[in-house]
Each structure stands twice: as structure tokens, then as C-alpha cells.
């Protein structure tokens, strides 16, 4: 009998299902309409017109990360490119290497960067290498972006209807999937709401507080991990 304790999960189909829900035909139609009717262009232009203020603390963090990543790129014979855009009002640092490996001082650097930056992203380059992209909220937008989006969308009643259809299409997918419906039914217990009503309530709550989804997902994963380990120990 093996003494190994193995935790193994394949989330391929679960992630695929979530992506299929996200990219429904209704959402594709809404996106295509927004692009072809310059809704996204208008939103972007209004965003750029907002007063933008450099955040002093984040400017210092960005410059320190730039300095440390420059040294990292030099020591590992890589490439670095730092961009502070006064057109898009964002700031990124890119480092390219054949591969990334972090240990010792490099691991401390990676911890520092991930603690400072808002986004850390690895993806392949055209020549087969790896690009590290990090970004930070360098500018503060002095304005209500949500209000701008709502105002621009409201100018197109057809788009508003499409976005409403997106919600109904995603709801139908969830309610017709036995596994997903069971989760909604469990959450709806004791609330006095039907599963359909709870879905509407939950969807609205997620739009207001998207971090709730991560908490529920983590709780679900914890339960799955515990069950698998209990089965392995039997």
C-alpha cells in the first residue's frame, strides 16, 4: 500500500462551463453592438477626459520595482521595458526571459513585486520565451467611472435590452444544469425565496460585491479538499 497522500483535481470541465456561461450568445451580441456602435470608444474617451492624479506612494513603489526588476533582467540576461502611459493612464513593467525560476534573492524579489503590484501576469512571447507583466494603479481617476458607463449604455436602449437578455440567458443555463441548480437551491434554503428569485438576488449582490464569489468558491474548494483527504485516509 502506498504511503503517498495525493490531492488531485481536474477543473477543466468546471472552468469550461463557467466560461460558456460568461460568453453566452446574448453577451456576445451585446459586446459586438457596443463595439460597432462606438459605445466602448465613447466610454474610453470620457475616461481619458477625467482628471488624473499621480499617486505619490504608488509612484515610489513603481520606481522601486522598476529598479529591482532591471537588476533581475540584467543578472539573467533578459529584457525589460517600463511604460508609464499618459494616454491610457496606466503603468506597466515587462520582463522577458527564456524561462522564470525564483529561489533565494529572486524569490524575495518576486514576493516584493507581488506585494506591491496590482497585477502580475505571465504569458508566452512570440519567440517562445516568457514575459512577466506587472502593473500598478499609478494614477487616480477623479471621477465616477460607473456613472459614465451607465450613462453611455443608457443612450442605446437596444444595448440595455441585450444586457438584460444576458442575465436571463445565464440564469436559464444555471437553472437547467442539475449541479448548478442544486447549489442555488441550497443557498436559497431558509431565505423564503425560490431558486429563481434567489439567483436574481445573488447575481445583483455579486455585481455590487464581486469578492463574495471568491469567498463562496474558496469555501466550496475547502469542502472538496477535506472530503478527498478524508477518503485518502480511510
pLDDT at 123: 95
pLDDT at 219: 77
Rounded to whole angstroms, the Cα distance separating 133 from 94 reads 5
Calculate helix-pair angle for 105-116, 56-75, nearest 10 degrees: 150
Burial of 134: CB neighbours in 10 Å, binned 0-12, 13-18, 19+: buried
Stretches where the chain sits below pLDDT 70 are: 1-3, 5, 21, 233-234
pLDDT at 173: 85
What does DSSP assign to residue 68?
H
User: Which residues make up the CATH 3.30.1360 domain(s) of the chain?
Assistant: 52-141
pLDDT at 165: 87
Distant-in-sequence, close-in-space partners of 62: CB < 8 Å, separation ≥ 6: 84, 91, 93, 136, 138
Rounded to whole angstroms, the Cα distance separating 130 from 112 reads 20
pLDDT at 95: 97
pLDDT at 180: 80
pLDDT at 214: 77
Class of domain 52-141: alpha beta
Amino acid at each position: 500500500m502506498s504511503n503517498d497522500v495525493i490531492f488531485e483535481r481536474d477543473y477543466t470541465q468546471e472552468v469550461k462551463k463557467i466560461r460558456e456561461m460568461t460568453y453566452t450568445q446574448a453577451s456576445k451580441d451585446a459586446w459586438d453592438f457596443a463595439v460597432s456602435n462606438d459605445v466602448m470608444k465613447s466610454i474610453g474617451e470620457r475616461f481619458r477626459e477625467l482628471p488624473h492624479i499621480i499617486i505619490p506612494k504608488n509612484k515610489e513603489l513603481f520606481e522601486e520595482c522598476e529598479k529591482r526588476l532591471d537588476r533581475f533582467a540584467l543578472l539573467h540576461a533578459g529584457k525589460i521595458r517600463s511604460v508609464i502611459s499618459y494616454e491610457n493612464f496606466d503603468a506597466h513593467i515587462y520582463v522577458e526571459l527564456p524561462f522564470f525560476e525564483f529561489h533565494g534573492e529572486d524569490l524575495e524579489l518576486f514576493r516584493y513585486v507581488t506585494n506591491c503590484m496590482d497585477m502580475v501576469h505571465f504569458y508566452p512571447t512570440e519567440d517562445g520565451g516568457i514575459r512577466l507583466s506587472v502593473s500598478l494603479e499609478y494614477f487616480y481617476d477623479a471621477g465616477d467611472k460607473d456613472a459614465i458607463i451607465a450613462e453611455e449604455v443608457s443612450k442605446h436602449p437596444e444595448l440595455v435590452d441585450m444586457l438584460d437578455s444576458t442575465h436571463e440567458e445565464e440564469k436559464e443555463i444555471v437553472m437547467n444544469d442539475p449541479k448548478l441548480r442544486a447549489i442555488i437551491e441550497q443557498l436559497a434554503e431558509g431565505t423564503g425565496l425560490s431558486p429563481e428569485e434567489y439567483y436574481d438576488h445573488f447575481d445583483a449582490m455579486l455585481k455590487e460585491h464581486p469578492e463574495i464569489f471568491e469567498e463562496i468558491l474558496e469555501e466550496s474548494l475547502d469542502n472538496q479538499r477535506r472530503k478527498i483527504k478524508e477518503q485518502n485516509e480511510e
